[in-house]
Amino acid sequence: MGMAHTFGYATAGKVFDLPYVFRLKTLADVTDDVARLAAAQFGFAKSTSRWRDIIEDDDIQIVNITAPNALHKEMALAALAAGKHVYCEKPLAPLVPDALEMANAAEPANLITQVGFNYLCNPMIQFARDMIMAGELGEIRG
C-alpha cells in the first residue's frame, strides 16, 4: 500500500491543479536498512525505523498510515495529538471501539482525516452496480 500511496503523492501535482506541492519527507519502516532502501527507491528525503520520528517532526503536516492494522490506532492518535492531518489505510482498526476512539479524536482536532476506501468513488463500481442491477451478470448469490 505504501508504494501506491507514494506514487499518488508524487504524481498528484501533475494530475490536479493543487495550491501546494507534496514533498516526500520521511519514510518509516520496520528497520533502518529497510526504511533507507525504500526511501531511496521512492524519493523520500529521510528514513527511520521509528514511526514516532514522523510524529515529532514539526515540518511534517500529513501522516499517511499504511502500517499493519493493529498499529493504526496508536499511530493515528499520536499524529492527531501532534496536530497532523491523517490518511489511514483501511481498515481503520481491527476493533470497532478502537475505530470509534480514533474517529472521536479526529473530530475535535479540526484536522483533515481520511480512511482509504479509494474505490468508493471509482466509476467502475457504478458500472458494476449497473450491470448487476440490469441482470447482465445473471443471478448474483452470496
Q: Is residue 142 part of a domain?
A: no
Half-sphere exposure of 105 (CA within 13 A, CB side): 22
What is the C-alpha to C-alpha distance for residues 42 and 96, in angstroms, rounded to an integer? Answer: 33
Q: Is residue 7 part of a domain?
A: yes
Output the pTM of the full model. 0.79
Paired strand residues for 113 = 86
Q: Which domain holds residue 83?
A: 2-117
Q: Is residue 35 part of a domain?
A: yes
Q: Is residue 137 part of a domain?
A: no
Residue ranges of the alpha helices (H) in the chain?
2-15, 32-42, 52-56, 72-81, 96-109, 123-133
Q: How many structural domains comprise the chain? A: 1
Segment 4-12 shows an average pLDDT of 83
| CATH number (domain holding residue 24) | 3.40.50.720
pLDDT tens figures, 43-97: 999 999 999 999 999 999 999 999 999 999 999 999 999 999 999 999 899 999 9
Helix (H, G, I), strand (E, B) or coil at 5: helix
